[in-house]
Each structure stands twice: as C-alpha cells, then as structure tokens.
Structure 1
C-alpha cells in the first residue's frame, strides 16, 4: 500500500512540475518565386513571397509558448533559410544556413522548434544570399503573459526598401562602383554644386582627405514600403484612444526617420521595454525595432511616415479616421551633400566625448562610449523636400495570414496569425501539419486587451470560434519579478525590464527629443553584469572602401578571418570603432547586450546597435548562450561583401550538421565580379576589362590610335598598346601589381605600386624588366551633376618611343553612370567620342 501511495504521490508531483500553461503554436510558411508590382512602376519576376505576400505573415505567440514553424521551400533551384531575429533559442534553430542551421533545399522543408523565452516585438527574415531584399521578411510579435502597459489598440508596422532591379544585380553593380546609384538617387557631388551650396571649401577638404563626403545610402530604390505598400490605412482609431505601434525596420540597406504629426512615446527598443521617452522622430537602423504609444487628440487621420535617411523617398501609413482631415508628418530637408564632417568620433552631440562607463557605477563598463549623433537631425526645412514623394495610388493587394493550428477544443483566434497589416497575398496559407495544441484565446489580440485592430484590412475573416470568458494567461503569474538579474539566463535580463513598473505620462519638464537614437534610451532596471566575471574585451574596427565596395572588420573580410572565440561565464565587451563614412547597424545573434551610454547602470539592452560614421560604440554581454552565432552589419550588402564574423563559444561542440556544412559556408568563399569600360572616339579607342574580388584585381587595358593622331583616319596605320596586370590591394589607397605591357610592338614584364594621393589623384609607378620607369596619373573632375572630365597622363622616359609622354583629357556630358559623350583631347589631337561601362 505504501508503494502505491508513493507511486501516486510521485505521479502527481511529476504532473504538477510540468508547465501547465505551456502551449504549442504552429505556423506553416511557404516560400515561392512570384511576380509582384510593389513600386507601382513595373512588374518583376524575381520576388520571393511567403504565403503569397510581401512582407511575410506576422507570427504571434505568448511568452512561454512552444513554437513550431514549418518552412517549405518551393523556389526552384534555390536554397532558403529563415532567421528568427532577436529570439533567444538553441543555435541549431537560429536559421543561418551553413553556420548553425542546415539550408532548406528546393522542394524540402524544415520544422523549427523552440521555447518562447521572452516577449516583445521582433521579426524574421532569410539569411541566404540576398533573399531578404527580394521579400523574405516578416514581423514576429510575442505577447507577455500579463500585460504591463495599457493601450486600446495594437498594430505592426514593417518598414522596407524595394527595388525593381534584381538584388543579385544590385550587388554586382555596387562591386563595379560603390557610387553606381548616385545618379538614380540624385546625389552626385560636383564642384559647381559645392559652390552653389557654399560648401566648396568643405568639398575640396574632403578630396584632400581622400573622401567623397558622407555616404547615407548605397542603393537607389524604387519604393519605400510600410507593410508592403507605399501608402495605406493602418487602423481606425478615435480621439483619446491610445495606440501601440510596433515598428520594425526590415529594410535591406536603408535607415529611416520615423515621425508623426503628434508626439510619440517610445516604450520599447528591440523588444525590451525602456523608460518611456517622448520623441519627435526616431532614427531607425536596419533590423532595429521600436514600440511607440500615440494618443489621438482629434477626429483626424494621422500620418506615420518613414523617410529614408538620404531623403530620396518615404512610405506612409495612417492612423485615425480614414475619411477625416489628414494630419501629415513633417517633411525632412534634403541632406547637405557638402556638409563638413567631424571625424573625431564624437560628432558634436550633446554628450560628445563623454566616457559613459563611469556613470551610475556600471559594472564592467570602461569602454569608450561617446555620443554618436553625427548630424543635427532637428533642423527640418519644409521648403526643401526632395521629389519622389511617390504616388499613393495603384495598390490594392489583399492581405494574407499565416495558418497556425491549435487544439481541436478551439479558442478565439481572431487576429492571431494574420500578416502584417497591408501585406499582399495571392492566396491562403496551407494548414500546418499536426495537431494537439492549446487554447490561444488569451493572446492579447482582442479589443478588451488592447489587441491588434485589423478591421481596416481586406483580409479574409478567420473562422469564428467560441470565445471563452476567461483565459489561462490572465490568471498566470508573471514569469519573473523585478529584482537583481539572474545572468545564468539571458531572458531574465529582458523580462526584468518588461515587468518593471513605469510612468507612461511624459514629464512636463522634459521636452520631446528631436531625434531619438540609442543614446536616449534608458533601461527600466539596472543591467549591470556580474562583477566577479572575467572580462574579455574585443576591439572591432569597421572598415571599407566605398569605391571598390569592400567591407571588413579589423582589415579582414569574413572569408579571411571568420571566428571570434569566447568562453562561457565571461563578460564579453566589444568596442566597435567605425572608420567609415557610413552607419553600420551591428547585430549579434542569440544574445542581448547592454549598449553602454550615459545612463550607466541603466544602459539599455539591445540586439542591434547603430555605429555611426567615425564613431564608437561599446557593448557588453554575459556569455551564457553556448553556440555558434553570427555577428554582422545588418546592411545586407555590407554583410555580403565581408563585414561579418562568427562568434563561437570555446566549450561548444559543433553539431553533426554544422560539421558537415562548414566547408560549404558561402560566407567563407569569395566571389569574382567584373567591370567593363569601352571608349570610342574619332582619334582613338580604348577598352578596360576588370575582374575583382575583395583584395584582388585582374586588369586588362587596350588602347589604339592612329599613329599621327588624326581624326577619322580609319584607313591608315594605327598603333596598339596595352597592359595586363594582377593587382593586390593592401588598403583603400595602396596596391602592388605585376604583369606585362605591350608597347611599340614589344612585350615587357612589369611590376609596380599604386597609390591614391590627396585630392583623389590616382597614381601608379612601375618598372619593366629592362629597368625602365613609368608613371601613370589620373583623376576625375565632376564639374556639375552631368558634366565631367577624365584626365589621364602617362610618362615613359627612356622607353625610346615616339609617344613617351601621353595624355588624354575629356569634357563629357554624362546623364547616368552607364554612359557619357563629348570632347576628347589627346597629346596629338582633339576628337569627339563616347564611353560606356557595364
């Protein structure tokens, strides 16, 4: 009898130890290649849709759920991957193909399974090739078990950039010339433009320092979208209603200024609640998320606008009464292409030069965190708004939703699993396989809980089910209570913030921040790390060459130096030093880190941090998520050309899948790109052909001209010369080369060095196998947006030829990167001609 009692007691104890409220939530995502027209200008056939739409459907969970997501690849001849951005999970579920998760091959599928250990606003996207740019991205919302913030309505805003040009071609174009898209973006810098702007001195100073000016973006896009549309009604709201807006920057390579015509209260960053702060606008880097609260003051329709940082366009969505008068968001002024730049790394901001590590007694925080605001974002000139404010007509695609399945006993699933508002689709998702799932009526999606209001979207209504009067989530205790952080669990640090008390009413003594960045963020609870842990400090210098479009860390691309090794139980401090003129949003998979700022022990927790031009950021985290994780710039094209690393715990043993895939990892293999320029004139002809990868180039140049230099003398004798050299770059300005030269019918071996002088003058000094010297000098002069000159000079003393000194100076009209035409003067004659490049 005692044995029976003991068995019963053991069974009951075991049963009670099981998480009673854990639920399994399943989704099915199907990735296909489909035709779309998102710009309103043309239909393209390279887009990748998820369940028929771009963006992909919004996935929703409650903290504590068990997630099961089946991803099917129906793209012919192309692998797929899905990364769950900002989600804490086992490394094999992280979704980076060949790094920690196997790729999903064509016609195959993969079931991702992980426990939901957090809450907040996140997203997911492909981590294969450039599929993210083609449409594989969507929102992921995790609701808390018990709501800590009161609001009436809830909506998701997914920002993105879109090009009608295939992203595979975009990266090829950038490798030809990092300035390839300047004409499309209307941001060509010129001497005449500098004079007009009163910035000639700065322009010349930049050239002297061998810089082309501030780079705000790389790609010329055709549209900027919010939930897949250039303009849409997000939701209906009435005066006095408080709306929570979850904003996700899912763009491939665009920073956005986000603003409204009314004050915004920022309550969370990267899924983690922060001390509420009012702001007039947000500067959002790629992969960042912000949650805001807005209270509508009147019966009007309020615009939420996302303006791309270079102000070449924006996307809009509206909150309020659709038929009511519209309140538009403020315009952004055109950026000053000739503004002086502070290269000290401080940017002249309000906290310039401060070492934030000493504030508030933050543990393990002696990094050089400074203010990183490089621009005065507050000066908005409404009279200078750039064109391409994008027609808001012509898009009426329906929205779709991901299918998720639950227990047959049912629950109220309205609003659970729809696509982000405005996400187009061409059909319903297929049901997910399997069953046996729990009730989700408490997923905080109903109006009584301030749930997401999808009433304004032309989405097929989900089947109605009986709604229960109460839900298990309402009666569940909070996952964690405020107090000291248990750093043995990464999610504890986040949940401490998301369950802390806060005051949502803005302080009357603090005016709204003009432009909110990470410098303005303060955690709700101290985020200090264990004081007794060993500190492992890494300095990562972010570098690149915009002209050749090469990006790297500590002077090496990921294929050259892929691993950063760390140990479990240590505090890892990373100091990012940005030596470039572009912003870099750096993202660490599998972890949240504290960004050391002026708030000291209450420095915020994030998974992605903006490192501004010529600035530094210090981040630190407790190493307690063993695995192999990506650390990379979330500018898609920077990552793909080298600005990435793999963080590996020394005590982590690679899984068999990881072991078998490591040699196939595309991050570790270089790609060759080509660039061709042809020039034909009445007095000469020239061809330049180049193959290039990160640090290597193979150059072939051939030039031919009539011996006497006469025009249109095609029936007479022409002389041909040329060079074939291999070139190795060691920095942005220095290279060595060797190869062969054809001159006066003779061949010579040659070696030399190339160097870029101040004023962006390119030089090369070489010597042939007979000891004869040669000097080459060239420079481009951009007089106006469309008028330019190329000047080239070659000197061959003692080579014994009639053309020992050669030069060519052109004056051409060039309306695009692709071609130019005009006058071409050589040492013997003046002619007319044209050049094309591709």
Structure 2
C-alpha cells in the first residue's frame, strides 16, 4: 500500500508540473488570438486544462492526507512541505484572480477583442499562473531530487522568500509589458519565438549551473575522517547540533580506537589464519565464478569456537589489490577489532597481515566479511560464518548445519544466481530419523530473502544470535531474513524428506536444500513459498520484561530513510539518504558510555533497508506504533520495509566509533551510512580516494 502511495505521489508531482506548464503556455497565448471565435475556443480549452490541473492537485493532497493518517507526519517529509504550501497559495491566487477573468470573458461574449487582450496580458491574470508553474517545479525537484543543502526551517523560509521575489519580479515585468502592449506584434509568430529565446536560454543556463554546482558539491574529499562529520546529533536538544568537532582531539582525555583492542598478551584458545585471494570456483551446476575468497573456498572457512574462548584470527592478503579487512557481523567485539577500513584500521594490502583478537562471550550464529569496498568484496565472496557454541555441551546432541545463502552477479546471466554455499541446484543432506537438527541460516546477500522449511514443524530458536524464550512450534510459514540477518531453526528429523527453499523477496532465482532419512525415496514436500504467511518475530515466544524495558532514555535519535535521484561523488545516480543527507555528510550520533539510547527508524522510500548497528544489539520496542508482544526481540540487522516505523533501544556499553548503516551494501555505497561515536573517542585513520580505505 505504501509503495503504491509513494509512487503515485511522485507521479502526481510530475503530472501536476506538466499540466501547470501547459496551462501557463495556453493562457499566455490568449492575448495573441486574432478573432473572438479563436479566443473563445482557446478559453474553453484552457478551462478544461485548469480543471485537469485542479484534479491532479486534489489527487496529490489526498495522497498526502492518506499518508499522514495511515503512517504519520514523519512520512510527509519536509521536502513535500517545502513547496506544497506554495502550490496551494498559487492555486488560491489563480482561482481568485485569474479564473474570474476567464469566466467573465466567456460569459459576457460581447467583450471587445482589444479589451480582452489587455485583460489577458495583465499581471493580475497571468502571474498567478506563472507562480503555479514555478511552485510545481520546486515541488517536483524537492520530491525526486537530492539537493546539496539541509532543508530545515531556515532554508525553507529562504525558498519561500526566493519564490516571493520571483513572483514580484514577474509581476513588475508583466505590468511593464502590459503598458507597451501596442508594441507587441500579435500577428508575428516568429516575433514571439524570438522573444522566448532569451528566456529559454537564461533558464537553461541557470538550470545547468545549478546541477553543475550540485554535482561539484557532491564530490567527496580525497581524504577525510569518518569521525569529522559536518554535524553532530546528541539526541538531546540541550546539546549543540553543529559540530565542529569539539568532541575530538581537543579533549585531553580522548581515547583512540587503536587502544580499544582485545587481549594482546594472552595465549589464544583458538587461532585461525585466513588468506584473502582470487580464485576460480566451480559451483555445483558447473558454472565458474571468478571469486575473491578466504582460503580459496566459498564461503570462507567456518570459524567455530566455544563461549569464553580467546579467538585469534590472522588475516593475510595475497592478491586483493585494494586491500581487505574482516568485520565480525553482529558480534560485539572491542572497537579496534571491528574491521572497518578508515575507521578502526587501515585496509590490509597485498603481502600484509593483521591480527584480530577478542573474547567470544556471546553464543549464537554470526558471520564475518570484508569491510573494505564491502559492496564489491562481499558480493564477490569475501565472507564466512562465525559460530560460538555454549561452553557446556547440550544434553541432546544436535545435527548442527550452517547454511549461507548468497546471491551472485554472473556475467552472461540475466538474473542473480542464488546459492546455499556452493550449491546452486537442489542438494541433499542425509540425516537419521529422530535426530534433533539445528539449521543456522545466514543471508549474506544484499536483499532480504524468504526461507521456507517444509515437511516438519519447527521452532525459531534464535534471531541474529539471540535465543528466543520458549519458542512455539510452527509450520507452513515463510521467514523473511534481512540482508545480513540470521535465523536458527530447530526440528526433529521425521521419517520423510524435509525441504528448505530460499527465494528473493523481489524475485531472482530460488535455491533448495533437501534433508532425507537414509534409504528414503519419497518425494520432497512442495509448498509454494509465495502463498504462505510470513513469520512475525514481534509476536513469537513468551513475553518477558528485560531491564531495558524500564530504563529512561538518555538519547533519542531519529533516522529518516529515503531514496532519491542525485549526485554522488560527481555522478548522477540513485542515492540513499538518512535524514536527507548522504555519507559522509550524515550526522554523527554522539553518546556517552552508560547512556540508554532510543532510535526511531522511518522508511519513507520504496526499498527495504536492513539497518545494521556495529558493536551493539538493538531491542525492538515497537513497530508502526504497536508494542512488541512476544519474546524480547534483539537484533543487530533490522529490516525496515517501505512505510514502516520502528522504535529500538540499546545500551551504550561498548565505547568506540561504530558504523550504523544499511546492509544492502549497494545502498551504503551511495550514501546510507552514518556513525555512532562515544564522546572522547578518536580515530587516526582516514578514508577517501587518496587513502587505502574505502569502507563501502
């Protein structure tokens, strides 16, 4: 529903601009009609066009009203409100000043042609029409395009003042022209064209100049600090919102991210070496992928450790030219181990190595991937699973299976190819009947994917590594797992086949895994994924209150997620915004250690945004204004769908500078990234084309 409203709103803005432009053109030509008959025909057509324009305005106002009533004021963003009042003012002026002249001229019929020309050439008649066109152009610009300034009350007032100045200038211009009406040769078409050329030329130059300036303003610095954002948001109106970074190095008690590391002088319980290198990998179907790998495999080696282990991972780069890192997705490591190029370290160049060390305190299903050029490198294969088992063995020995679902963009393929690991076709797994089975599902793709387990009841035991309290058995439901998200499913193997199917939320190829008891040839269950209801984590498991539910919030942030057309680093492209800004010009969210933080996510666009906060787990409080009634829903990658609003909270208990971004990495690559920083934390690392670091 929201997507339909969003698209209709954009279309109505464009159509309203086109219609008002045609009306302006037709009414501007009334003074040049040579006979009364031609004049009256033109008036009749103009009335029809005005009626169509009015209907389009009503449609737009209706859509905006429905969005406000159904979804709230946050979804009628300031871009809409900046120009919509100007349209309403112009329409009001048009029906008070312009329309009565049209109506009376048509009604009287005996009016002299010269008198009619004077009326239609007056500022009273024509300027309201021109102002309507200008206001609809502004509305379309603010609705569709990204602009290089912050649209707040001050800039909105400046826009209104500029509009007023333009209308006044048009008024005086039209009055001057009306006084010299006799000098205008109404019979010479080429004369009108000649007079229109300078206006068209000036308009074209101004438009080209504005877009050139916007493109220039979007060019990223060749070297910049991820910590030095142009604005700082304290989540508290009593704090300043314009930086200029007094929280940084001027603080004598500041701490560098390089000091926030895991234990360095203790022998590791688990040591792993990962070598990043290019490799030709053959999928199950025989297709060859020119992949970037860890240790030559896709996914990279599974890292499986016990709770409490001190983990040491040695990353070596063999031949990935632009460098690599490892980010521990969903795992709350010390900030210096987070693996974000340009924030917590420099990317590891060919022939170099870096050692990550941290204590594995959280159990559950996680994964790791490169965070240097992550949109490209994760897509090409630099990822793997990271599993932390409980210290004590479970009483019932499970069959523990990790399944990483990935989408590959292959040459000469019209669609992406989905795989479970390296399997892009139906594959089988033999499991003895009666065996407890745990499926650890990891979505390493850029898009949300549906997963359907058919043939047996099952339980969702964990979401993003966080266990569910008393999960109930369910069946015939599909699970939507966010890009970067993880679900643990548990079931007891029946004496018949079980099928796991994954398919993209917005299409793409499916992939299937079968689980068979020994010596069973029965066919696998066939349940169409698209016909099933979607599992809802907001109402699953036993409700319990956590200590976080009773806390008062120290900081409250709001993140409006949108998508527009704009310039990014000098190129015209779809861009993805947070609070109307694109990285690195998004605000820095500032906290102090010990703060309880509330964040509100609002998706006013038409694409899913899986919002991923590094170094913390978020407790979901509400969705679309309704409280979460099931198990306390903790997540690190929250899929915010179009038209959705989530409220989440987390404890600021892990000092550092942390990325908070959309994990559709193609969105993060063109703007949808900001950072959460603890007061007093600094970084010596830089990002940009003149450095080793391009984190997205």
TM-score normalised by the chain length of structure 1:
0.47
Does the Cα contact within 8 Å between 1:267 and 1:277 map onto a contact in 2?
Answer: no
Partners in 2 of 1:577 and 1:668 — Cα distance?
30
2:421 is the counterpart of 1:230 = no
Distance 2:574 2:284 in 1: 26
1:524 Cα deviation from its structure 2 partner: 7.0
Question: Given the superposition, is the C-alpha separation of residues 304 and 22 from structure 1 closer, same or farther in structure 2, using an over 3 Å criterion?
Answer: farther
Q: Quick check: 1:29 aligned with 2:274?
A: yes
Q: Give, in angstroms, the shift of residue 522 of structure 1.
A: 4.3
Partner in structure 2 of residue 132 of structure 1: 378
Q: Distance in 2 between matches of 1:602 and 1:86?
A: 19
Structure 2 partner of 1:518? 537
Encode CA deviations 1:621-672: one digit per residue, 9 max, x unaligned: 01111101111111011111111111111132x2xxx31425669899899x
Match of 2:316 in 1: 72
2:447 to 233, 238, 253: 253
1:601–1:531 Cα change, 3 Å: farther
1:702 corresponds to: none
Of 487, 502, 527, 1:290 maps to: 487
TM-superposed CA distance for 1:601, in Å, is: 8.9
Give the distance between the partners of 1:62 and 1:324, measured in 2 at CA: 35
**1:320 paired to 2:530:** no
**CA 1:321–1:556: 2 relative to 1, 3 Å:** same
Q: Cα deviations across residues 47-104 of structure 1 (Å, max 9, x unaligned)?
A: 1011111111110110000000001111252211110111111101011111112211
Is 1:105 the counterpart of 2:349? The answer is: yes
- The alpha-carbon deviation at position 546 of structure 1 amounts to 7.0
1:235 Cα offset (Å): 3.4
- For residue 43 of structure 1, the aligned residue among 288, 302, 314 is 288
**C-alpha separation in 1, matches of 2:355 and 2:522:** 45
| 1:539 matches 2:558 | yes
| Partner of residue 82, structure 1 | 326
Answer yes or no: is 1:161 the counterpart of 2:407: yes
- Corresponding residue number in structure 1 for 2:164: none
What is the CA-CA distance between 1:41 and the residue it aligns to? 6.9
Specify whether residues 650 and 663 from structure 1 end up closer, same or farther in structure 2 by C-alpha distance, changes over 3 A only: farther
Determine which structure has the larger helix proportion and give its number: 2
C-alpha change, 1:524 and 1:651, in structure 2 (3 Å) is farther
* Alpha-carbon shift at residue 152 of structure 1 (Å): 3.0
Q: 3-state SS of the aligned residue for 1:68?
A: strand
Q: Report Cα offsets for 1:319-363 as digits up to 9, x if no partner.
A: 223652254354546xxxxxxxxxxxxxxxxxxxxxxxxxxxxxx
Contact map agreement 2:538 2:631 (CA 8 A) in 1: no
Match of 2:195 in 1: none
**1:605 aligned onto 2:605:** no
Structure 2 unaligned regions, length at least 5: 1-262, 567-572
Cα distance in 1, alignment partners of residues 629 and 690 from structure 2: 39
User: Conserved in 2, the CA contact under 8 Å of 1:73 and 1:107?
Assistant: yes
Aligned length: 417
User: 1:523 offset after TM fit, Å?
Assistant: 6.6
CA distance in 2, matches of 1:136, 1:65: 24
In structure 2, what is the Cα distance between the partners aligned to 1:311 and 1:28?
Answer: 37
Contact 1:119–1:271, Cα closer than 8 Å, also in 2 = yes
Contact 2:455–2:497, Cα closer than 8 Å, also in 1: no
Choose from 457, 470, 473 the match for 1:278: 473
**For residues 567-626 of structure 1, what are the alpha-carbon distances to aligned partners after superposition, in whole Å with 9 as ceiling and x for unaligned?**
222111110000111111111000011011444595311111111111111110011111
- Conserved 8 A contact 1:273-1:523: no
User: Of the two structures, which has the highest relative contact order with CA contacts closer than 8 Å and spacing of 6 or more?
Assistant: 2
Residue of 286, 299, 310 corresponding to 2:506: 310
The answer on whether the counterparts of 2:425 and 2:511 sit within 8 Å (CA) in structure 1 is yes
For 2:378 and 2:295, how far apart are their aligned partners in 1?
Answer: 15
Change (3 A) 1:533 1:254: closer
1:614 aligns with 2:643: yes
Deviation string, structure 1 residues 789-822 (Cα, Å, up to 9, x no partner):
xxxxxxxxxxxxxxxxxxxxxxxxxxxxxxxxxx
1:571 has 2:606 as partner: no
**Secondary structure of 1:624's aligned partner:** coil
1:321-336 equivalences in 2 (<5 Å): 321=517, 324-332=520-528
> What CA distance in whole angstroms lies between the structure 2 residues aligned with 1:165 and 1:621?
42
Instruction: Indicate conservation of the 8 Å contact 1:260/1:330, yes or no.
Output: yes
Q: 1:115 to 1:152 in 2, by over 3 A?
A: closer
CA contact (8 A) 1:33 1:75 kept: yes
- 1:150 Cα deviation after fit: 3.6
Aligned-partner Cα distance in 1 for 2:454–2:319: 39
Instruction: Decide whether aligned partners of structure 1 residues 626 and 255 sit closer, same or farther in structure 2, where only a CA change above 3 A counts.
Output: same
Tell me whether 1:145 sits opposite 2:409 in the alignment.
no
**Secondary structure of the structure 2 residue equivalent to 1:231:** coil
Contact 1:258 1:284 (8 Å CA) reproduced: no
CA distance in structure 2 between the aligned counterparts of 1:667 and 1:549, rounded to whole angstroms = 26
Partner of 1:169: none
1:573 touches 1:620 (CA, 8 Å); kept in 2? Answer: yes
Cα distance change of structure 1 residues 284 and 316 upon mapping to structure 2, 3 Å threshold? same
8 A Cα contact 2:433 2:517, kept in partner? no
The alpha carbon displacement at 1:28 in A equals 0.6
Task: Give the conservation status (yes or no) of the 8 Å contact 1:527–1:601.
Answer: no
SS in 1 for 2:458: strand
SS, match of residue 457 in structure 2: strand
The structure-2 alpha-carbon separation of the partners of 1:642 and 1:323, relative to structure 1 and needing over 3 Å to count, comes to farther
**3-state SS, counterpart of residue 639 of structure 1:** helix
Distance 1:528 1:668, change over 3 A: farther
Greater CA drift, 618-627 or 658-667? 658-667
Alpha-carbon contact 2:276-2:318 (below 8 Å) kept: yes
8 Å Cα contact 1:527/1:605 also seen in 2: no
Equivalent residue, structure 1, for 2:211: none
CA distance in 1, matches of 2:692, 2:468: 35
Secondary structure of the structure 2 residue equivalent to 1:145: coil
- SS of the equivalent of 1:572 reads strand
Contact kept in structure 1, 2:307 and 2:363, CA below 8 Å:
yes
CA shift in 2, pair 1:601/1:302, >3 Å:
closer
Determine helix, strand or coil for the equivalent of 1:133: helix
Mean Cα displacement is larger for which, 637-646 or 542-551?
542-551
Supply the RMSD in Å over aligned alpha carbons.
3.0
Change (3 A) 1:258 1:624: same
Q: Which runs of 5+ in 1 are unaligned?
A: 1-17, 167-180, 185-219, 334-376, 381-513, 672-838
- Is the 2:428–2:515 Cα contact (8 Å) retained in structure 1? yes
